[in-house]
Homo-oligomer: A and B are copies of this chain.
Amino acid sequence: MNRRDLLNAPVKPMELKSKMTVNQLIQQFDNAGSFGAGRLATACDVFENMVRDEKCTIFLALAGAVVPAGLRYIIADLIRKRLIDALVSTGANMIHDLIEAFGGHHYKGQWFIDDFFLYKYHINRIYDIFVPEEDFVKADKILIEMFDEIAKEKQGEVLSTNELMRLIGSRLENPKSIVRAAYETSVPIFLPAMRDSEFAYIHIVHKERSKNDKTLSVDSFKEASEMVALARKSERLGMVVIGGGVPRNAVQHATLMADKGLDYAVIITTDRPEYGGLSGSTPEETISWGKLKKKAGKVMVIGDAMIIFPLTVAAVLERLGKDFQRKGNP
């Protein structure tokens, strides 16, 4: 590498104008190409490439309270357009999707409030979102009944989390629900830590009122095999991460167990590498494990997913055009 090669791409200062589209703004970010703006522009490119690759199976790994905070329709829409082929989520995000599917709501609140006061009012707080207890209770009630019904149907058959989510999805009506959209499009939903959510409470109540042989049984490892099988039959693999944690790790590990490795990775996180946790680990680190290919399109954008993810999706939707519909994989 000689000196000239290092100095061949000048930073072009951004120029703004009134009524720019989102993608026009992203193109200015690309012109500047520095710090977060550069990374975000790259994220749009990598996501676009992933989506335009007809042989790529795309996983969305979802952690953090982004569904209650307002990403629900975006994710359902990505599923319906098949811009993602599989969803790997925390249990909680699906619970919050279901709360809204059953008519409940999340409310704009404030973080600077006396939490004991909220507690007495039966209002649960997620930073600046309020979730009234009754909306949880309503969802619990419906889901316990679904669990009873599914258990009866399945007669002791051991399910994977994905199979259970499909059975729930088939019972929903709300077309804007993520779980419903996934059911209708046959996009799998894997919940590698399903039990770490309101689903655990639902299962406990269901179990306590079931005869033992009629208890719904979810196997811890079954979905791992399903994810590996999915990865094995995919030609190429892509991953979009919101937040990290168990969902990100589960996707990465599946690609390794399938003896493949990701071809594309967009990671949106607020975590950092230096504490050593998986959520903050760089795409580069992932290469050492064989979970990401050396030549993969890859980028990690550090920032609030509630801002970064919609920006990325809006820019890519603009590039794809209004009527873009992906076929889906594998």
Interface, chain A (partner B; CB < 8 A): 3, 6-23, 25, 28-29, 31-40, 63-66, 68-74, 77, 90, 92, 100, 105-109, 111-112, 115-116, 118-119, 121, 123-130, 132, 158, 161, 176, 192-197, 199-201, 203-204, 207, 217-221, 223-225, 228, 243, 245-246, 249-250, 253, 257, 270-279, 281, 284-290, 294, 302-308, 310-311, 313-314, 317-318, 320-322, 324
Contact = CB atoms under 8 A, between A and B. Distances in A.
Given A6-B107, A13-B74, A125-B288, A203 B221 contact: yes
B123 A6 contact: yes
Contacts of A106: 10-11, 34
Contacts of A38: 108, 128, 306
Contact of A310 (B37, B204, B219, B228): B37
A275 B270 contact: yes
How many copies of this chain sit in the oligomeric assembly?
4
B310 A69 contact: no
A63 B18 CA distance: 26
A116 B304 contact: no
B195 A37 contact: no
B253 A129 contact: no
B275 A16 contact: no
A77 B16 contact: yes
Contacts of A321: 18
